[in-house]
Structure 1
Amino acid sequence: MKKSSDTSMTGEAIADFGDEPMTGTSDGALARAAGVTAWRQIADAIEADVMNGRLTPGSQLPTEARLAERFAVNRHTVRRAIAALAAKGLLRATQGRGTFVEAKPLAYPIGRRTRFTEIVSREGHEAGGELMSAAETVADEETARRLRLMPGSPVLRTEVRRFIDGTPVSSGTSFFPLPRFAGAAAVLRETGSITRALAACGVTDYVRAETRITARLATGDDAARLDLSPGRILFVVDALNVDGTGTPVQAAHVVFAADRVELVVENG
């Protein structure tokens, strides 16, 4: 399943917003003698509207051209203000789609039965998945240890990106033992669901045997995949799932945008 459709404001809603002055002076003009740079004043005005709820999570900002016209500045100045707010995690600028207010983080519980689609759907959101690559390879020492295989054993390596309401929230690499999961890639390509891929290979249920959580800063590749600014914080989750007999079925390495999900570790 490809990522879900965009949930931004409609063009009419954007036009209505653009016809009203933003926080600041009554006509939206900048205070030229305030001793604060123009881009900072614009950033502060937008941030104030996010904080007071006038710009709601998931809503789309007017275009750079309309903001430039409102504040009587060039588009480069507007772009710098948007970049500063994106770096803070308040906005998400996506090429070809526009700039959006970041949604509030989704509580994402991690326990013995962690299922992305179930968790997202339960919170009233739409889950999506996209298989980015799949290839047969051999297990290195660390992967073999996690899957209880001999080093050099054949495994299926996949990369999957996950979405909530069309916004990318995670990107992960998984390894599945072969030949047991030879058919998993085809199901992942069609549905984007790990659970369905495992079920198609005979694993009707599985549980989380181990989860390790660390953090790091986003690289340029992370930023491109998750539509965020380089340097933003990522949660790094290394997980091992096993079937009913305790046999490993998936070793995963997943990065989450830290300001889009709140990892909740469940006891028991």
Structure 2
Amino acid sequence: MDFERKRGEALWSQIANALARDIREGVYPHDTRLPTEARLAQGYGVNRHTVRRALEELAKARIIRTEHGRGSFVAEEVLDYRIGQRPRFSEWVRGHNRTPLGDILMLEETALDTLPEATAAAEALRLAPAQPVILLERIGSADSTPISLSRHIFPARALPGLLEALRHSGSITAALAALGIADYTRKWTRVCARQPDAREARLLRMARSDALLATESLNIAEGGAPIEFGLSIYPAPRVQLVFEP
């Protein structure tokens, strides 16, 4: 690796600057994996602790990202997710010239009071605690990169046939359209920031030390009936939320 030591500057800083230069010059393109710590240490003729410190500094500067159990990657473009009246995951991802993908982790009908978010969902959907709901949990990706983990809760009695429609299409918009709900809008969105737990970090392939944007939201049908309470999390190094009036 092209590296010449300089006097008066810490080795880790020199390595961080060299890697940042290589990234700017396209030696390591966006969203590609960097060599392992062991290989970088060998290439620069230093110990792994020095390389690890350099990578930590690059991660703090958002030049690279660390994915849980996978290594360090050159940071990709941060995607703007515009939250207006009709936020749609697939349209958002396609708008960034990426391919939207969704992996369903859970799809079932259950009693509302069995869910950890029962209180918030009951208030938003105007349901009694024991009412049946449909729960959809899925990971959303742009190309092969996970950018969201979401839980969607629907009132089962108000939306008969939705469970089968979701199993058939995998798309919330298509499933609701099959039930005759051609359009639905966002009534409100609430946002906070936090760090991921171990499961969230694993599924979103991110470091436990990175920040998440966590949202709660309510979607309504024409006429105002609540039809979906959602909880979504987004890795802050990959996604920023933009609110539109």
| Normalised-by-shorter TM-score class | 0.7 to 0.9
Map of 1:14 onto structure 2: none
Q: Show the counterpart of 1:36.
A: 10
Contact 1:158 1:185 in 2 (8 A): no
1:115 partner letter: R
> Is 1:135 aligned with 2:113?
no
SS of the residue corresponding to residue 144 of structure 1 reads helix
Task: Find the counterpart in structure 2 of residue 165 from structure 1.
Answer: 143
* Aligned residues of 1:57 and 1:101 also touching (Cα < 8 A): yes
Displacement of 1:181: 4.3
> For 1:96-153, what per-residue CA distance to the aligned partner results, in whole angstroms no more than 9, with x for missing partners?
8664212121111000010111111122111111111123222233211101222211
What is the rounded CA distance, in whole Å, between the counterparts of 1:188 and 1:57 in structure 2?
A: 35
1:70 aligns with 2:43: yes
TM-score by length of 2: 0.82
1:113 counterpart SS class: coil
Distance in 2 of aligned mates of 1:132 and 1:220: 16
Unaligned runs of 5+ in 2: 113-117
Percent of residue pairs identical: 37
Q: 1:225 aligned to 2:198? A: no
Give the Cα–Cα distance (whole angstroms) in 2 for the partners of residues 86 and 186 of structure 1: 43
Residue equivalent to 1:237 = 215
2:73 is aligned with 1:100 = yes
Match of 1:118 in 2: 91
Separation in 1 of the partners of 2:9 and 2:151? Answer: 49
Q: Distance in 2 between matches of 1:33 and 1:187?
A: 66
Q: Name the counterpart of 2:115.
A: none
Secondary structure at the counterpart of residue 176 of structure 2:
helix
Question: For 1:65 and 1:119, how far apart are their aligned partners in 2?
Answer: 38
- Supply the RMSD in Å over aligned alpha carbons: 2.9
For the residues of structure 2 that align with 1:192 and 1:72, how far apart are their CA atoms? Answer: 51
Relative to structure 1, the CA distance from residue 228 to residue 86 in structure 2 (aligned partners, 3 Å threshold; closer, same or farther) is farther
Letter in 2 for 1:218: P
Q: Deviations over 1:204-261 (max 9, x none)?
A: 2111111111211222222112111112111111111111121111100111111211
1:219 and 1:231 in contact (8 A); partners too: no
